[in-house]
Amino acid sequence: MTTEQAFELALQHHQAGRLAEAEALYRQILAVQPNHADALHLLGVVAHQAGKNDVAVGLIRQALALLPDAPEIHSNLGEAYRALGQLDEAIAACRQAIALRPNHPEAYSNLGNSLRDNGQLDEAVAAYRQAIALRPNLPKACNNLGAALQEKGQLDEAIAAYRHALALKFNYPQAHNNLGVALKDRGQLDEAITAYHQAIALQPDYAEASYNLGLALRDKGQLDEAIAAFRRAIVIQPNFPEAHNNLGNALLAKGQLDQAIAEYREATALKPHYPEAHSNLGNALRDKGHLDEAIVAHRRAISLKPNYPEAYSNLGAALKNRGRLDEALTAYCQAIALKPDYAEAHYNLGNALLEKGRFDEAIAAYRQAIVLGPNYPVAHNNLGNALFEKDQLDEALTEYRQAIVLQPNYGEAYSNMGMALKDKGQLDEGIAAYRRAIALKPNYPEAGSNLVLALHYHPGFDARAIAGELDRWNRQHAEPWRQFIQPHLNDPTPSRRLRIGYVSPDFREHAVGRFLVPLLAQHDHQNFEIFAMPRCPSPMT
């Protein structure tokens, strides 16, 4: 076989994607003819395709030394430099290729790639458009144009570019995947899911497409399907930290906390400097009640990404649950300083202020959250709670009703509305609201308890009716816990002094506390030791 024949065969293997066979033949040629510029050039291209870009640059530069005016070699050198992250050198190489051959579409396309990686999006778009103008049937340039337009936020134009690429080459999984990303960003989730499925059908081992499919399915609320897609991406590419992180998010949304924590830990093991995964781990640990570990995870996220408002807000939530309200307030304020239009942080700030008894400030925080996110039912509900604490019952009712308009199945808002109606003396309406809360959320002991209290005030319910409601509450909420009652380990001696504890939120500035005074006074304090334990910190206690 002559050198020319060997080169032709190597080229056929290369074009067919048989890189190992092509590489072997290029090396055989170079063993005989070390200065074979085309063999050096294409061996460098093989190295680039195999991810050995430092080797690729060395080989392609040797080829350029032999053929300095070959535009294809300059263009491919640019791609190898780009893969190494040496973007200035990549841009210079592509511009040299264009200077040598101004009508070189591939060089313009490669120049666009390097400019896009360098953040020069306008220039990248111009380069891709020039490549397409020179060769309209260049699907790769159309796809890359779409990517640059998408980064610029021009989603409609990006979608058009991806569709153009697919019209030229339908069997183009990367373009289907990129089209899916743009459609998802556009809010067209069903079309995005279709595009991802098409990418996977064309390339079943396409981990990124399975991952992106999982994101779209999660946003659709199809959590089981999302979990399956993320798991498939991980099977294809086990060291895929983003897939582990988002699998954790889907599992967290399903309430599968232990599995979510395991996925977040895997994500951080694969990518230790991954602030989002650390913060998400903190959220799952908080939901598990592991508050100290949650706080550590959020602080780790912040150390990795100091300007991370979501991590500060999540840290605040963990600190609040830990009872460290002042620290929580500081964290929420830092989140808002970093992102003033962060509705959730304003809402969380309101929750901490409400718990601190700083009702006016809580009201202001909730109102700001609602300005930033008008369709925010929990903010309306909690604003109602703060107004209720201020005895502004009509304003509180307005907020509870708005919460219900936004979320008709919002049991807590119905129960809170019942409390405000009861305090206004509208007992029938209050009792109806409690019953609606219970219908929407049967396992809601607070609503049932509030209902029983309201019945005590209503002249239409006698002791028997109230006892019947109490019995229903007991069967629903107390009986299931009977199996967990442990035997008392205290001294059973009948003659010893017994301890009796009263638990109430109403020992101080409340009528109930005054009613209890005669009871406490009449106790036999010689045989009974009396304890009064406040249920929650408030002026009433």
Task: Assess contact for 164 and 175: CB atoms under 8 A.
Answer: no
Q: Does residue 482 fall inside a structural domain?
A: no
Q: Confirm whether 506 is domain-assigned.
A: yes
Q: Which helix (DSSP H) or strand (DSSP E) does residue 498 occupy?
A: strand 498-504
Work out the angle at residue 315's Cα, subtended by the Cα atoms of residues 313 and 319, and round it to the nearest 5 degrees. Answer: 115
Burial 326-350 (b: 16+ CB within 10 A, else e): ebbbbbbebbbebbeebbbbbbbbb
Chain centroid to Cα 460, Å, comes to 50
Q: What is the pLDDT of residue 507?
A: 83
Q: Would you state the structure tokens that stand for residue 461, as one six-digit string?
A: 């319910």
Q: What is the pLDDT of residue 540?
A: 46
- Residue 254: inside a domain, yes or no? no
**What's the pLDDT score for residue 538?**
54
* CA dist., res. 118 & res. 116, Å (int): 5
What is residue 533's predicted lDDT score, i.e. its pLDDT? 86
What is the pLDDT tens value at each position of the chain, 541 positions in all?
788 888 999 889 999 989 999 989 989 999 989 999 999 999 999 999 999 999 999 999 999 999 999 999 999 999 999 999 999 999 999 999 999 999 999 999 999 999 999 999 999 999 999 999 999 999 999 999 999 999 999 999 999 999 999 999 999 999 999 999 999 999 999 999 999 999 999 999 999 999 999 999 999 999 999 999 999 999 999 999 999 999 999 999 999 999 999 999 999 999 999 999 999 999 999 999 999 999 999 999 999 999 999 999 999 999 999 999 999 999 999 999 999 999 999 999 999 999 999 999 999 999 999 999 989 999 999 999 999 999 999 999 999 999 999 999 999 999 999 999 999 999 999 999 999 999 999 999 999 999 999 999 999 999 999 999 999 999 999 999 999 998 888 888 888 888 899 988 888 778 888 888 898 889 998 889 999 888 665 554 4
Q: Is residue 536 part of a domain?
A: yes
Domain that holds residue 539: 496-541
How open is the CA angle 186-202-141, to the nearest 5 degrees?
Answer: 60
Work out the angle between the directed axes of helices 189-202 and 207-219 (0-180°, nearest 10).
Answer: 160
In a domain, 513, yes or no: yes
Q: How far apart, in whole angstroms, are the C-alpha atoms of residue 180 and residue 201?
A: 14
Q: Please, what is the Cα angle at 470 between 467 and 471, to 5 degrees?
A: 85
**pLDDT at position 537:** 57
120 in a domain, yes or no?
no
Tokens of 537: 């910190």
Q: How far apart are CA 12 and CA 42, in angstroms?
A: 12
* 512 within domain boundaries: yes
Is residue 178 included in any domain, yes or no?
A: no
Alpha-carbon span 525 to 531, nearest angstrom: 11
What is the tally of structural domains in the chain? 1
